[in-house]
Amino acid sequence: MKNILVLCTGNSCRSQIAEGYLRHFANNKANVYSAGIETHGVNPKAIQVMAEDGIDISKHTSNNIDEYMDIPFDFVITVCDNAKENCPYFPTKAQRFHQNFPDPAKATGDLNGVMNEFRSVRNMIKAYSESFITEHLS
């Protein structure tokens, strides 16, 4: 069983969405975790847009990278430039991957516009996650 860690700044949106999709597409072929270099709590809008696509992340928690130091990860994926550049030293032999996604939590405007930004980022992460699992776990 492979271990996958997804990292972003606050473990509230992008990494949570990626964790949900990677778990979905891995279909019990991997243990998937997400963490941040900080913890900001799981964003309710991320939970909402994932539910719209049939993925329940409502029980996810916002975790700090330090909580996972003892897990032998096979893959570490950073989903924002800030996490890639500021992640503390993480002792692992894992293959590292990076894909920067826009931060939907920074979207401004009316609620409809903000939710559309969350959906747009969700769809980008979904495509990346499906491709990642196909390439690395199939």
Per-residue pLDDT in tens (0 to 9) along the chain, 138 residues = 999 999 998 899 999 999 999 999 999 999 999 999 888 899 999 999 999 999 999 999 999 988 998 899 999 999 987 655 665 556 678 898 999 999 999 999 999 999 999 999 999 999 999 999 999 997
Residue 88 carries which DSSP code? Answer: P
Q: Out of 5, 7, 8, 77, pick the active-site residue.
A: 8
67: Cβ contacts below 8 Å, ≥ 6 apart: 35
Confidence (pLDDT) at 37:
85
8 is annotated as an active-site residue: yes
So what's the architecture of 2-137 in CATH?
Answer: 3-Layer(aba) Sandwich (3.40)
13 is annotated as an active-site residue: no
**CA-CA distances (angstroms) from residue 17 to 31, 35, 70, 88, 91?**
15, 12, 23, 22, 25
Confidence (pLDDT) at 85:
62
Q: How many CB atoms lie within 10 A of CB 83?
A: 26
Q: Out of 18, 32, 50, 87, pick the active-site residue.
A: 87
Q: Is 41 left (phi over 0), alpha (psi -120 to 50) or beta?
A: left
